[in-house]
Structure 1
Amino acid sequence: MEHSDVEQYGSQSSATEETDNDGGKSSSVKDELLEALLTIAHVHDHDVSADSLTAGLPLEEGALTPGVFPRAAERAGLTARLVKSSVVRLNPALFPTVLLLEPGRACVLLDLDVHQRVARVVFPDLGHADTEIPLDELQERYSGDAIYVRPRFRFDARSDDVKRDSSRHWFWGVIRENRRLYRDVILGSVAINLFALAMPLFVLNIYDRVVPNHATETLWVLSAGVFVVLCFDLLLRLMRSTFVDLAASRADVKLSSRIMARVLGMRMEARPQSTGSFVAMLQSFESVRSFIGSATVIAMVDLPFVLMFVAIIGIIGPPLMIPLVVGIIFILLYALAAQGKLHDLSETTLKVGAQRNATLVESVSQLETVKALRGESRVQGSWEQASAFLSRTGAQLKSLGSSVTSLAQWVQHTVGVCVILVGVYLIVDGSLTQGGLIAAYMLSSRALAPVSQAAGLLAQYHQSATALESLNRVMEMPVERSESGYLDRPAVKGEVRFDKVSFRYPEAENDSLREVSITMEPGQKVALLGRVGCGKSTLQKLLLGFYQPTSGAVLIDGVDIRQFDPLQLRRHIGYVPQDVRLFYGSLKDNIIAGGGSEGVDDEMLLNAIRISGLESLVTSHPQGIELQVGEGGQMLSGGQRQAVAIARAIVHDPAILLLDEPTSAMDHSSEEAFKRNLEEYAPGKTMVVVTHRTSLLSLVDRIVVVDSGKVVADGERDSVMEALRKGQIGRAS
């Protein structure tokens, strides 16, 4: 199936909309492609969950599309290939196969009996149960597109000592996928370089045979032949450029997707310290993208044909080869000599550019703080200093790269002059004709052109190589989602247990937690108290799976959370962070941002708005829930941003609530209203509250006091509060 067909199928409808008895559309959405994939995974005994297959993928209206299907299949340990074929021509050896029916619909073809005109299929509406339907009926509903899905061989730890297959490399593997296009480019280049001999040979014959003999008939025949060759040459050049651009475009889309997926999936321990520097590193992919474009590939493909042109010049007149060979060697030696400096300058440019970008991002994101502290001068000085250094380094890099290109052009012209000088003496000597000299001159220019282009690409190559090296480090960062399967836990009771948990942040000198053991029963309300930096928020982040314990384990319902799919784990937990960050968009977009609109109906959305205290804002504003919050939520007050965070934490009705200073920016009346709403909502839910406000303690029935990463008190609320007032709870040793 072509990419455009996939997009058309997905854009028409990505899921089935069920109709109610009145003929109206309900909000229930069925992802039939996902159900079909789960069915095939079940057939091949691959234990996967829907969350693990779709986490982080660009879904359309919350459902898989045929274009994204292969990426989801890869997570299930399967390979998928989109094909166009009639039902009867599908390969039975590759069954079960996904058939795309009318837009948004799909089924799994298990077996086909052409003679009996019967097909055995699985419709997602019926779960994993198969049914037989007439082949004619299936063909009427079949769109003509199918997806072959087969198990992929999995390597285990015993194969780690074997050299890694280059096809599995995140970059070269994608380039390798387009090898058929590059094969066609090479074949086209062979023909183009052979056609390049037409003009020199045409001139040779005109001067040596047509002109002396006044053979006008031969002139017309040769001219017609050369014109046909030139037309084919034009056609091949256009096709070659199109194929190279197509391969680069396909690679660009896939590589960009992989880089973004790696960034979003990386573990928090691997998160870079500077956001601006990291973004600049990712933006350096632009230089890699441009390097794999048409000019680079065509120059590299044409390079081997230099030997052919040199050999033909040698046939015309052996001495004419000497200036050509000397010129090629001279260009290559100068280019090789400049490589080391080009690499150093490219690396320096990338580092300085990243540092300057970090200054920009930091100053813009904290512009209010910069103005309040009158720090404009310091930021401006850092920016100008980095800009000046980057300008000098960039000028040196550009100058050195230009010198290689300029020298190559100078050598090209000089070699042409030398060929004419040598050729004239050969003509005087009688060993060369006039036509031979002109043909040799034309061939010398054609021979040196790829060498000049390749030399000119050196500066761009080093920039791309440096960028690729940086991106390799990004792609090697550990991710939180492992290739091994996860337990499918669609529901949890809410029991939480920290079993001798210790944790240290990356590059920190001391442990943030030291052998912490806490058990919370389902539905229990617990407050975490302690001084600033004692580890309260860290406990919540460990429970969310943001970080992995240095030792010990975090368990939910007696299961280590590392056995949960990260997306499914966070679906069971509603989290209100201390530092609330909103996304550009509407209130509704920010409330249902976690996991999209799947499973969120209007009643759930309005209930979350009511409990969080946003009801007055929504009802009083003309735009209602479509009110735009601005980038980072800058159009809302601090208390309103906290209310949005509370709404999105409870909108999916999680079993566990983690509240980190949930009312720190609220006024007294808003806080009291929120407490009343939360008491009404929270029965039966496990709740962990981190706060320094004693007013919130009425929500809990148990208090855990943490100091220096250790639990120093744990008990019933009133008894712990009394002990705190009397100073009976000491500091951690």
Structure 2
Amino acid sequence: MPADDYIKPYEKNWFWQLALKDWRRYSDIMLVALVANVLALSGMVFSMQVYDRVVPSQSEATLWVLFGGVMIAIVFEFVMRMLRVHISDVVGKRADLRISERVFAHALRIKNGARSKSTGSFIAQIRELESVRELITSTTIAAISDLPFFLLFVFILWMIGGPLVLVVLLAVPLLLIPGLLVQRPLGKLSSEGMRESAIRNATLVEAVQGIEDIKLMRAEQRFQNQWNNTNDVAASVGMKQRWLTGLLLTWTQEVQSIVYAVVLLVGCYLVISGDMTTGALVGTSILASRTIAPLSQISGVLSRWQSAKVARKGLDDLMQRPIDDPQHGKKVHKAHLRGDYVLEDVGFYYDEEEKLSVLNISKLQIRAGERVAVLGRNGSGKSTLLQLLAGMQEPQQGSILLDDIALNHLDPADLRRDMQLLSQQARLFFGSVRDNILMGNPLATDEEIHQALVNSGALEFVRKQKMGLNTLINEGGTGLSGGQRQALLLARALITSPTILLLDEPTAWLDEVSEKQFIQHLHQWLGKRRTLVVATHRLPILDLVDRIIVLENGKVVMDGPRDAILHQHGMATPKAAQRTVTMKAAAVAEEGVA
């Protein structure tokens, strides 16, 4: 699928555009269905001829000719129906892949501020594809393709059975009305089921991600109870859905039996009165069952429709969420970004309801090539500032300019080409060390990988592994120490050779030796052209910077040259044992590490 298709603006009929993209193949399905349904009449014709001609004349030759003909028709009907299944599966598979691709691509590009707060709920929304997929399966397509031939069968039934056609026509509302009546309760149950599925997914994700904490806090029973309660509600909802669906299915089967019985009952009177032959009665009874069959299948489709409808609603909600690079909003392309930031009247908050300001900056400028440290107490807004500078979050008020262009007007691909943010929540992914490092720069050479490992301090760790760069990393870096994970994440950030480097506590998990090596290598790597903004509590990191910005309650309370601020607060000559910076009363102070 072309890249532009991923970033198209939301369209109400996006689903059907993708599902019916191969609409010409549906004409093939209808043609095959026509041939199959015409051949299906062979059984009726065979029965009529046997009872009306073969039996009275006792002609064995005619019997075998008719039998051979009906067997050929049955074989061809089987071939046609299997061909329809194959074409339907191919068309359904293509539509399924297109829809899945579009939804997942959109989910990956949703802006951070528009994502669901619960990971489990977000996963549940994407998993609704399973329910929507039911609409494009071969079973559903077969039921719909057979429906138009109901009128053909009714016409033939009228030609052969005369008044017996009324029995079938009277059965139509008996089949359709119950199916329509259960749509409302099925819709409510589907909505409840989707909600419970989201809660269950959220519980599962939270439990899996925090399994160690759950064990240490002896909270297994709490999560077990939560899981059991959610499952109990979901099972009850599912049972009600199955009961209604089963009721509808059983009812359609009984109506079919009733139609067959009534056709025989009325037909017997017509045979007795001489208005119909025995063969016509047998053929009519067979044809009546064939005529009712498509309507019975539609009842099954209606029972699945509500689940798919609710799932579609959830997917529509997902597809309406704003993405990083919408096609309808033309973005500015830049061949090279220097890293010249200007923030004016920037205000940002996470909670849309309470609107508690996390960051409130009236004026801030970071020049290209500057090395800036952002200091402040926990919760002062350091990480949020880096998120805004990286374009991962957008301010609710004010503007952020990068190289004299509004940050939200820049093409995200250009921004992420020349900028790297290493946040505290950065993750390693399942795969080899090489796969993880090359994620941001797939074309990097082995020499570039080696240099990135050297600069990050991860080279020693990789050398000790038997498989080297091919060492397998578990999901999230499970099994690695905090320092090893952080070193590999640093290597992944550096291999893209960004001109703008944003680091959030980059050495929080490194020991003194690794931290010192990292600072030395990074100092050489930065040179004079790269812009560095680092949020930290570690004193050694300040050797990398020439400017310090101090945040308190989301506001800039101090901003100036590093040495001037350190002199001002008596930190010009830090002690060797001091490795952390603690903010007290909007001032920079040092804190010894025991």
Q: Return the TM-score normalized by structure 1.
A: 0.75
1:492 partnered with 2:334: no
**Whole-angstrom CA distance in 2 between matches of 1:317 and 1:352:** 52
Say yes or no: does 1:590 pair with 2:436: yes
Are the aligned partners of 2:374 and 2:536 in contact in 1 as well (CA < 8 Å)?
Answer: yes
Aligned to 1:693: 538
What's 1:713 paired with?
558
Give CA-to-partner distance per residue, 1:402-446, whole Å, 9 cap, x none: 110011111111211111111111111111110111011101110
Check whether the contact 1:170–1:255 (CA below 8 A) recurs between aligned residues.
no
Distance 1:544 1:635 in 2: 30
User: 1:666 aligns to what?
Assistant: 510
Higher relative contact order (CA 8 A, sep 6+): 2
Distance 1:380 1:250, change over 3 A: same
Relative distance call for 1:165 and 1:581 in structure 2 (3 A) is: closer
* Alignment equivalent of 1:254, drawn from 78, 81, 98: 98
Distance 2:406 2:439 in 1: 27
Give, in angstroms, the shift of residue 723 of structure 1: 4.2
Q: Tell me if the contact between 1:516 and 1:709 (Cα under 8 Å) persists in the aligned partners.
A: no
Contact preservation (8 Å) 2:373, 2:549 = yes
Match of 1:266 in 2: 110
Distance 1:412 1:179 in 2: 33
| 1:477 lines up with 2:304 in the alignment | no
Q: What is residue 427 of structure 2 aligned with on the other side?
A: 581
Whole-Å separation in 1 of the counterparts to 2:258 and 2:147: 20
Whether contact under 8 Å (2:95, 2:136) holds in the other structure is no
Q: Is the 8 A contact 1:529 1:705 kept in 2?
A: yes
Q: What is aligned with 1:511?
A: 357
Question: 1:728, 1:175 → 2: CA distance?
Answer: 60
- Asked whether the 8 Å contact 2:7–2:323 carries over to 1, the reply is no
User: Which runs of no fewer than 5 residues in structure 2 stay unpaired?
Assistant: 572-582, 588-594
Q: CA offset at residue 214 of structure 1?
A: 3.9
User: 1:638 aligns to what?
Assistant: 482
Distance across 2 between alignment mates of 1:518 and 1:341: 57
Q: Which among 406, 413, 420 is matched to residue 264 of structure 2?
A: 420
Q: CA deviation at 1:165?
A: 7.8
The secondary structure found in structure 1 opposite 2:448 is: helix
Equivalent position amino acid for 2:144 in 1: M
Aligned residue number for residue 128 of structure 1: none
1:402–1:456 CA contact under 8 A, matched in 2: no
Q: 2:78 maps to which residue?
A: 234
Q: Is the 8 A contact 1:280 1:353 kept in 2?
A: yes
- Asked if residue 568 in structure 1 is aligned to residue 414 in structure 2, the reply is yes
Q: 1:74 to 1:632 in 2, by over 3 A?
A: closer
Q: Counterpart in 2 of 1:452?
A: 296
Counterpart position of 2:580? none
User: How many residues in Structure 1 have an aligned counterpart in Structure 2?
Assistant: 573
Write out per-residue CA displacement over residues 483-522 of structure 1, whole angstroms, 9 at most, x where no aligned residue: 1443332322232222332222253521222244221222
Q: Give per-residue Cα distances to partners, 1:7-63, cap 9 Å, x unaligned.
A: xxxxxxxxxxxxxxxxxxxxxxxxxxxxxxxxxxxxxxxxxxxxxxxxxxxxxxxxx
Q: 1:74 to 1:316 in 2, by over 3 A?
A: closer
Cα distance, 1:220 vs structure 2? 4.5
Q: Which residue of 2 aligns with 1:554?
A: 400
Verify: 1:199 aligned to 2:51, yes or no. Answer: no
What is the rounded CA distance, in whole Å, between the counterparts of 1:629 and 1:705 in structure 2? 37
Return the alpha-carbon distance in structure 2 between the equivalents of residues 174 and 457 of structure 1: 20
Aligned to 1:175: 19
Whole-angstrom CA distance in 1 between matches of 2:351 and 2:445: 41
> For 1:171, what is the secondary structure of its paired residue?
helix
Contact in 2 for aligned 1:401/1:458 (Cα 8 Å): no
2 CA distance for matches of 1:385 and 1:302?
A: 43
The alignment partner of 2:147 has SS state of helix
Following superposition of structure 1 onto structure 2, how do residues 294-333 of structure 1 map, counting pairs within 5 Å? 294-333=138-177
What does residue range 41-56 of structure 1 map to in structure 2 within 5 Å? none
Q: 2:387 matched to 1:541?
A: yes
* 1:526 maps onto 2:405 in alignment: no
Aligned 8 A contact 1:723 1:729 in 2? no
Structure ranking higher in helix proportion: 2
Partners of 1:712 and 1:729 within 8 A in 2: no
Distance 2:122 2:17 in 1: 24
CA–CA distance in structure 1, aligned partners of residues 540 and 54 of structure 2: 105
- State the Cα distance separating 1:606 from its structure 2 match: 1.0
What amino acid is aligned across from residue 292 of structure 1 in structure 2? I
Secondary structure of the residue aligned to 1:410 is helix
Structure 1 residue 457: Cα displacement: 2.6
**Distance in 2 between residues matched to 1:296 and 1:642, nearest whole Å:** 51
Secondary structure at the aligned position of 2:472 is classed as coil
- Rounded Cα–Cα distance in structure 2 between residues aligned with 1:534 and 1:349: 41
Cα distance, 1:345 vs structure 2: 1.1
**Contact (CA 8 Å) 2:346, 2:360: kept in 1 or not?**
yes
Task: Write the letter of the residue equivalent to 2:139.
Answer: A
Paired residues of 1:660 and 1:691 also in contact (CA < 8 A)? yes
Amino acid at match of 1:493: R
Note if 1:349 corresponds to 2:180: no
> Partner of 1:575: helix, strand, or coil?
strand
The 1:579/1:231 distance shift into structure 2, 3 A limit, reads: closer
1:725–1:516 distance in 2 versus 1, CA, 3 Å: farther
Residues 460, 529 of structure 1: alpha-carbon distance in 2 compared, 3 angstrom cutoff: same
Helix, strand or coil for the counterpart of 1:583? coil
Supply the distance in 2 between the matched residues of 1:285 and 1:276 (Cα, whole angstroms): 15
User: How far, CA to CA, are the matches of 1:188 and 1:629 in structure 2?
Assistant: 51
Give CA deviations for 1:683-702 in whole Å, capped at 9, x if unaligned: 21211110122232222111
Deviations 1:120-158 (A, max 9, x none): xxxxxxxxxxxxxxxxxxxxxxxxxxxxxxxxxxx9xxx
Choose from 209, 233, 237 the match for 1:389: 233
Would the aligned equivalents of 1:323 and 1:418 in 2 still touch at CA under 8 Å?
yes
Using the alignment, how far apart are the partners of 2:338 and 2:126 within structure 1?
A: 41
Identity in percent? 37
Q: CA deviation at 1:225?
A: 3.7
Asked whether the 8 Å contact 1:604–1:652 carries over to 2, the reply is no
**Counterparts of 2:70 and 2:21 in 1: how far apart (Å)?**
37
Instruction: Specify which of 362, 365, 378 is matched with residue 206 of structure 2.
Output: 362
- What is the CA–CA distance in structure 2 between the aligned matches of 1:279 and 1:493, rounded to whole Å? 38
In the other structure, the counterpart of 2:578 is none
Deviates more, 1:637-646 or 1:693-702: 693-702
1:524-555 Cα deviation digits (max 9, x unpaired):
11111122222211111112111222222222
Determine helix, strand or coil for the equivalent of 1:652: coil
SS of 1:529's equivalent in the other structure is strand
Distance in 2 (CA, whole Å) between partners of 1:234 and 1:728 is 83
CA apart distance, 1:268: 0.7
Q: Distance in 1 between matches of 2:224 and 2:5?
A: 48
- Tell me the distance in 1 between the aligned counterparts of 2:340 and 2:62: 95
Check conservation: 1:405, 1:453, Cα contact below 8 A. Answer: no
Q: Which amino acid aligns with 1:692?
A: H
Rate the CA distance shift 1:301–1:728 in 2: closer, same or farther, 3 A: closer
Which residue identity does 2:302 align to in structure 1?
L
For residue 728 of structure 1, report the CA deviation from its aligned partner.
Answer: 10
- Residue 289 of structure 1 pairs with residue 133 of structure 2: yes
2:346 pairs with 1:501: yes
Query: Are residues 372 and 249 of structure 1, via their aligned partners in 2, closer, same or farther at CA, if it must alter by over 3 Å?
Result: same
Gaps of 5+ in 1: 1-67, 78-154, 156-163
Contact 2:19 2:99 (8 Å CA) reproduced:
no
